[in-house]
Amino acid sequence: MKRRIFTIGFFVMGILVGVTLSDVIRAQVPGYVSKQVFKTDLQNLSGQEAIIYSSEWPPGFRLPLHLHQEGHEFVYVIEGEQTFEIEGSGTKVVKAGEVIYTPPNTPHYGRNATDKVSKTLVIRIKAKDRPVMTEITK
């Protein structure tokens, strides 16, 4: 029960902080916007941090195949839908109001396979000394 309250509080706090911060990162694809809305050390998990991003995905946009070294990723779809390809799990379509979890070190990518903009909130819990993501080239 405490874990659920913490998770909900953490999620709501991230959204509220996101309204006030403006650290916008634009990827190379026109229309894709990822904005870091919150970042903090996790006091009870030594060496770990949590980062929350809001993202807007234009129709047809696809991230490269990548993984998160020792990092957990939760993607909440706010608007539209996202299609995820996750090694070991296959293809998952996540619609507005749904969440998908990608375990650490799992190759995956997300894409907007629709003709409408999609919006997501991404929560990452990762080791502070590891990159946010590592692209996989094949």
pLDDT at 16 over 70: no
Q: Please give the structure tokens belonging to residue 68.
A: 């998160």
pLDDT at 25 over 90: no
Overall average pLDDT of the 63-70 stretch: 96
């807007």: which residue's tokens? 56
- For a pLDDT cut of 70, what percent of the chain falls above it? 79
pLDDT at 15 over 60: no
Overall average pLDDT of the 13-32 stretch: 50
Overall average pLDDT of the 108-113 stretch: 97
Overall average pLDDT of the 94-102 stretch: 98
Cα dihedral 48, 102, 67, 44 in deg (nearest 10): 0
What domains sit in the chain, N to C, each tagged with a CATH number? Answer: 2-135 (2.60.120.10)
